[in-house]
C-alpha cells in the first residue's frame, strides 16, 4: 500500500461533516488571542471549542475571538463548560445556535467543581432534549461503557469520555475503559480531558479513538505553539500506529537477528 | 436619548435605558454591539436572528446577550 495515499485518505466524520485532523483544541487559558490563534494553526486543528458568555456591555469594542480565529475556516464547537444542570446547558446551546448558526455542539454537564466530573443523569437528559431539538451533540462523559451506549441511543453524535479530570494533565488513567467504549460505539469516540503531554495523545489514538480534545495541555505548556505542533504529530503517529496494528507483546526476548549461520 | 422617551430594561443583569419603541437591532446598535456576533435571549426566550429588525423592546424586558469566548 502506498504510504502517501493511506495517510491522506484517513478522514473521520461526525454528524455528516468530514475532517482530516483528529485533534480538537480548546481556546481557553491562552495569554492572548494572537497566541491562541498561532497555537490553533500549529495544531492543525479544524475544530475549536468555544464558550458562550455574556458580552461586555461596558466595553463593547474589546477584541473578540472571532477577530482572530475565523469561524468560516475553523469549525467552532460551542460548549457548555461551567453548566451544572441539563437546563443551563440546553439554554446555553440554544443561544450558541443563534450566535453561530450551527447545530454541532459540545455538551458538558458537570457534577461538582472539585473534580469537574460529568453528571451523567443530567447529561443524558440534556442529550435527549438537544437531539429532539435538532442539535448534533458531541458529549463529554464518564468512562462508563454502558452510559456511553445510553448516550448514543439518546442521540449523541460523538462520545467523549474523560481520560482524567479536566485540566489535570494526568494522562489516560482508564485505558481499559476507553478501549471498551471504543469497541462498543458506533459513533466517533474522542478522549476529552486528561491529556498532559504528547505521549498521552498518542496513547488515546493507539487505543482506537477517533480523536482527542484538549486545551490545558497546550495552553499551559511553556511554549504553547511548540506543544500544539507536538500534539498534532502525536495524534497523527498514534493514529498511524493503531492502523498499522501493533505487534503482540511477549514475556521474554525474541532475537531480531537470525539464529542460523552463527559462527 | 431623551429620558422621557426612553424605557428601562435589564441587559445581562444590569439596568439600562434604551429608546422607547426601538427594536432588538436598534437596542444592539445603542449598546454598540455587532448584531452578527451575538445571540439574544429576551425574557428567557431566544430571539431568532431574523427577528432582530421586527421585535420591539418593551419596558421591563430582561435580555441576555452572549457571544463566543475562549474556552475548553
Given a cut of 90, whether residue A126 has pLDDT beyond it is: yes
The per-residue pLDDT for A17 is 94
| Shortest Cα distance, chain A CAs vs residue B4, angstroms | 23
Digit-coded pLDDT (tens) for A129-175: 999 999 999 999 999 999 999 999 999 999 999 999 999 999 999 99
Mutate one of A54, A82, A168 to test the B interface: name it (highest B CB count within 10 A). A54
Strand A75-78 vs strand A47-54: parallel, antiparallel, or unpaired?
parallel
Q: Which residues 6+ apart lie within 8 Å of B48 measured at CB?
A: A98
- B44: nearest CA in chain A? A91
pLDDT tens column, B16-56: 999 999 999 999 999 999 998 899 999 999 999 999 999 99
| Mean pLDDT confidence for A13-36 | 94
- For residue B56, what pLDDT is reported? 95
Residues of chain B contacting A89 with CB distance shorter than 8 Å = none
Q: Band of the pLDDT at A63, cuts 50, 70, 90?
A: confident
ipTM of this complex prediction, to 2 decimal places:
0.92
pLDDT at position A5: 65
User: Is residue A262 over pLDDT 80?
Assistant: yes
pLDDT at residue number B2: 60
pLDDT at A98 over 70: yes
| Catalytically active residues of A, by annotation | 106
Interacting residues of A27 by C-beta distance below 8 A, sequence separation 6+: A36, A40, A48, A49, A50, A51, A65, A69, A215, B69, B70, B71, B72
Residues A167 and A216 sit within 8 Å (Cβ to Cβ)? yes
CA angle at A35 for the pair A234 and A11, rounded to the nearest 5°: 35
How high is the mean pLDDT of chain A? Answer: 94
What confidence tens digit (pLDDT) does each residue in A192-240 have? 999 999 999 999 999 999 999 999 999 999 999 999 999 999 999 999 9
Q: Kindly list the residues from chain B whose CB atom is less than 8 angstroms away from the CB atom of residue A215.
A: 71-72
Amino acid at each position: 500500500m502506498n504510504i502517501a495515499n493511506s495517510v491522506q485518505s484517513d478522514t473521520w466524520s461526525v454528524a455528516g461533516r468530514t475532517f482530516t485532523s483528529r485533534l480538537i483544541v480548546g481556546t481557553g487559558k491562552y495569554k492572548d488571542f494572537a497566541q491562541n490563534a498561532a497555537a490553533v494553526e500549529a495544531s492543525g486543528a479544524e475544530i475549536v471549542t468555544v464558550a458562550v458568555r455574556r458580552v461586555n456591555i461596558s466595553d463593547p469594542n474589546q477584541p473578540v475571538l472571532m477577530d482572530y480565529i475565523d469561524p468560516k475556516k475553523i469549525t467552532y464547537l460551542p460548549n457548555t463548560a461551567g453548566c451544572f444542570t441539563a437546563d443551563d446547558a440546553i439554554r446555553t446551546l440554544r443561544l450558541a445556535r443563534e450566535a453561530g448558526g450551527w447545530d454541532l455542539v459540545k455538551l458538558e454537564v458537570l457534577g461538582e467543581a472539585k473534580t469537574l466530573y460529568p453528571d451523567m443523569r443530567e447529561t443524558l437528559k440534556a442529550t435527549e432534549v438537544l437531539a429532539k431539538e435538532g442539535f448534533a451533540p458531541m458529549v463529554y462523559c464518564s468512562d462508563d461503557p454502558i452510559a456511553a451506549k445510553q448516550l448514543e441511543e439518546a442521540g449523541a453524535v460523538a462520545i467523549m469520555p474523560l481520560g482524567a479530570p479536566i485540566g489535570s494533565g494526568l494522562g489516560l488513567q482508564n485505558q481499559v475503559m476507553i478501549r471498551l467504549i471504543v469497541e462498543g460505539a458506533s459513533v466517533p469516540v474522542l478522549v476529552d480531558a486528561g491529556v498532559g503531554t504528547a505521549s498521552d495523545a498518542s496513547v488515546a489514538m493507539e487505543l482506537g479513538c477517533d480523536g482527542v480534545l484538549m486545551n490545558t495541555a497546550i495552553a499551559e505548556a511553556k511554549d504553547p505553539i511548540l506543544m500544539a505542533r507536538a500534539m498534532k504529530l502525536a495524534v497523527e503517529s498514534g493514529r498511524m500506529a493503531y492502523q498499522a496494528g501493533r505487534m503482540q507483546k511477549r514475556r521474554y526476548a525474541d532475537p531480531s537477528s537470525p539464529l542460523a549461520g552463527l559462527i | 436619548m431623551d429620558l422621557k422617551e426612553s424605557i428601562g430594561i435589564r441587559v445581562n443583569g444590569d439596568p439600562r435605558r434604551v429608546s422607547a419603541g426601538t427594536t432588538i437591532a436598534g437596542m444592539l446598535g445603542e449598546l454598540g454591539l455587532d448584531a452578527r456576533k451575538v445571540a439574544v435571549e429576551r425574557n428567557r426566550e431566544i430571539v431568532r436572528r431574523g427577528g432582530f429588525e421586527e421585535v420591539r423592546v418593551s419596558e421591563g424586558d430582561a435580555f441576555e446577550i452572549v457571544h463566543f469566548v475562549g474556552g475548553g
